[in-house]
Amino acid sequence: MIAVQGLTKEYGAVRALDELSFSVNEGEILGFLGPNGAGKTTTMRILTGYMPPTSGSVTVAGYDVVEQSLEARRRIGYLPESVPLYGEMTVYDYLDFCASIRRVGDRRRAIDRVLEACSIGDVSDRLIHKLSKGYRQRVGLAQALVHDPDVLVLDEPTIGLDPRQILSVRELIKGLGGEHTIILSTHILPEVSQVCQRVLIINRGRIVAEDTPERLTMGQQGGTRVRLQLAQPAPEAAELLAGVPGVRAVSPLGQGAEQVAFEVVCDGAGDPRPELAAMAVHRGWGLLEMRSASMSLEEVFIQLTTDEVTDAAEDADASEVAPVAAGAEADEEGR
Amino acid sequence: MRNVYHVARRELNAYLASPIAYVVAAIYLAVLGGMSGFILYYSREATMRYALTHGVTLLFLVLVTQVLTMRLLADEQRQGTIELLLTSPVRDWEVVVGKYLASLGVFALMMLLSGYFPLVLTRIGDPDVPVILSGYLGFLLMGGALLAIGVFASSVTQNQVVAAVLGMGIAILLWLSGALTDFVSGGLREIVAYVPIFDHYFDFVRGMIDTRHIIYYLSVVVLFLFFSTRVLEARRWK
Looking at this predicted complex, what is its ipTM?
0.88
Region B102-120: mean pLDDT is 91
Task: Beginning with the edge strand found earlier in the chain, give each strand of the sheet holding A247-255 in spatial order.
Answer: A247-255, A260-266, A225-230, A287-293
Structure confidence by residue, pLDDT tens digits, B52-80: 888 888 899 999 999 999 999 999 999 99
Of A81, A49, A58, give the one whose Cα is nearest residue B236.
A49
Q: Does B89 touch chain A (CB under 8 A)?
A: yes
In chain B, what residues touch A11 (CB-CB under 8 Å)? 238
CA nearest neighbour of A99 among A57, A144, A43:
A144
Which residue in A88, A98, A103 is closest to B14 by CB distance? A88
Q: Does A136 touch chain B (CB under 8 A)?
A: no
Residue of B nearest to A104 (CA): B89
The answer to whether the beta carbons of residues A160 and A186 sit under 8 Å apart is no
Instruction: State whether residue B233 sits within 8 Å of chain A by CB.
Output: no
- Residue A72 burial (C-beta neighbours within 10 Å; 0-12, 13-18, 19+): buried
Supply the DSSP string of A220-247, one letter for each residue.
TTSS-EEEEEESS--TTHHHHHHTSTTE
pLDDT confidence of A219, banded at 50, 70, 90?
low
**By three-state DSSP, how is residue A73 classified?**
helix
Q: Where are the alpha helices (DSSP H) in chain B?
A: 2-17, 19-43, 49-53, 55-69, 71-79, 82-86, 92-113, 116-124, 129-155, 160-176, 186-194, 202-205, 211-237
Q: Is 60 exceeded by the pLDDT of residue A72?
A: yes
Question: A52 and B90 in contact by Cβ < 8 A?
Answer: no
* CATH code assigned to A2-218: 3.40.50.300
Using DSSP's 3-state secondary structure scheme, residue A157 falls into coil
Please report, to the nearest 10 degrees, the dihedral formed by the alpha carbons of residues A98, A78, A61, A21 taken in order.
160
| B96/chain A closest Cα distance in angstroms | 14
Indicate the number of domains in chain B. Answer: 1
CATH superfamily for domain A221-293: ACT domain (3.30.70.260)
Q: pLDDT band for position A295 (50/70/90)? A: low
Residue of B nearest to A127 (CA): B17
pLDDT score for A269: 63
* CATH topology identical between A2-218 and A221-293: no
Q: Give A89→chain B minimum CA distance, Å.
A: 8
Neighboring chain B residues of A82 at a CB cutoff of 8 Å: 79-80, 83
Residue of A nearest to B18 (CA): A88
Is the Cβ of B43 closer than 8 Å to some Cβ of chain A? no
Q: Evaluate whether A172 touches A117 at the Cβ level (below 8 Å).
A: yes
Compute the mean pLDDT over every residue in chain A, rounded to the nearest whole number.
82
CB nearest A85 (choices: B10, B81, B90): B81
Band the pLDDT of A325: cuts 50, 70, 90: very low
Q: Which residue has the higher pLDDT, A265 or B204?
A: B204
B19 reaches A (C-beta below 8 A): no
The candidate with the shortest Cα–Cα distance to A131, out of A82, A70, A77, A86, is A86
Are residues B87 and A82, on separate chains, in Cβ contact within 8 Å?
no
**Contacts A78 to B, Cβ<8 Å:** 83-84, 87
Comparing A263 with B212, the larger pLDDT belongs to: B212
Contact assessment for residue B159 and residue B236, using Cβ atoms and an 8 Å cutoff = no
Which residues in chain A (102-121) have CB-CB distances under 8 A to chain B? 102-103
Chain pair A-B, CB pairs under 8 angstroms: 70
Amino acid at A261: A
Res A321: pLDDT: 39
The domain locations on chain A are 2-218, 221-293
At B104, give phi and psi (nearest 5°).
Answer: -65, -40
- Residue to mutate among A86, A90, A98, A183, with most B CBs inside 10 A, is A86
Is it the case that residue B154 has pLDDT exceeding 70?
Answer: yes
At A333 the pLDDT is 39
- Point out the residue among B10, B82, B89 whose CB comes nearest to the CB of A97: B10
Strand order in the sheet with A2-11: A14-24, A2-11, A55-60, A63-64
Residues paired with residue A8 on neighbouring β-strands, in sequence order: A55
Q: Is B48 on the interface with A (CB under 8 A)?
A: no
In chain A, what percentage of residues exceed pLDDT 90?
Answer: 33
CB-CB under 8 Å, B89 with A86: no
The answer for A 11-50 residues in CB contact with B (under 8 A) is: 11, 45, 48-50
Subunit contact A103:B89, Cβ cutoff 8 A: yes
Query: Which residue of chain B is at minimal alpha-carbon distance from A72?
Result: B89
Query: Mean pLDDT over residues A134-163, rounded?
Result: 90
Using the Cβ of A88 and the Cβ atoms of chain B, whether some distance falls under 8 Å is answered with yes
Residue B68: give the domain boundaries: 2-237
B85 touches A at CB < 8 Å: yes
Q: How far is CA A238 from CA A185, A243, A261, B62, B203, in A?
A: 41, 9, 10, 83, 99
